[in-house]
């Protein structure tokens, strides 16, 4: 069972917009869905610099969350064309089913007090989401728990993808 956070209770009772500070850096927290949609969709070209995740990794430094200014605008344009709302709505129920399975696993582990290997759990979740949304298949337990045993890769090292 998912419980609402303290922030969610605050926003539902008091306000939809509030300010916060991370050290000396001011910021806004927007919880109003209509205003958030306007900011993220209509005015995305205006709000392109955000709290970014800085990294020196050659691949991760090109993630949308790590880019700023004109590189962010270029990648955001590509992402908008690739992930259109209609396509995302069509796979929403698939992602929701996978998420509910993930939450059920976490609830079961919490109820029994057992340890969880989060890397394997979220790796299995990722494989399930990919297989449902890209290949239109519902994976079985063996596929989700051990995907590398089902793929045969010859003369290439794909450890960064599978492991």
User: How does DSSP assign 51-105, residue by residue?
Assistant: S------TTGGGSTTT--HHHHHHHHHHHHHHS-HHHHHHHHHHHHHHHHHHHHH
pLDDT for 71 equals 86
pLDDT for 8 equals 67
Quick check: 27 and 21 in contact, CB under 8 A? yes
Quick check: 99 and 107 in contact, CB under 8 A? no
pLDDT for 160 equals 40
Locate 33 and state its tokens.
């869905």
Task: Please give the Cα distance from 163 to 157 (Å, whole number).
Answer: 11
Helix axes 85-112, 118-135, angle to 10 degrees: 150
- Output the tens digit of pLDDT for each of the chain's 163 residues: 445 566 666 666 777 888 888 788 888 888 888 888 888 778 877 776 777 677 788 888 888 778 888 888 888 888 887 778 888 888 888 888 888 888 988 999 999 998 888 888 888 888 888 888 877 777 776 665 565 655 554 544 444 443 3
Q: How far is CA 135 from the centre of its chain?
A: 19
Task: Please give the Cα distance from 149 to 74 (Å, whole number).
Answer: 37
């Amino acid at each position: 069972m998912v419980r609402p956070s303290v922030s969610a209770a605050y926003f539902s009772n008091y306000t939809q917009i509030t300010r916060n500070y991370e050290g000396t850096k001011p910021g806004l927290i927007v919880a109003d869905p209509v205003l958030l949609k306007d900011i993220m969709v209509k005015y995305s070209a205006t709000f392109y610099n955000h709290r970014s995740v800085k990294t020196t990794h050659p691949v991760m430094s090109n993630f949308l969350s790590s880019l700023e200014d004109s590189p962010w605008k270029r990648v955001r344009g590509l992402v908008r064309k690739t992930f259109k709302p209609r396509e995302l709505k069509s796979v929403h129920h698939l992602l929701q089913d996978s998420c509910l399975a993930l939450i059920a696993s976490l609830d079961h582990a919490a109820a029994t007090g057992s340890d969880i290997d989060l890397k394997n759990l979220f790796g299995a979740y990722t494989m399930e989401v990919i297989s449902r949304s890209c290949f239109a298949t519902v994976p079985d337990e063996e596929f989700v728990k051990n995907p590398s045993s089902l793929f045969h890769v010859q003369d290439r090292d794909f450890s960064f993808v599978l492991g």
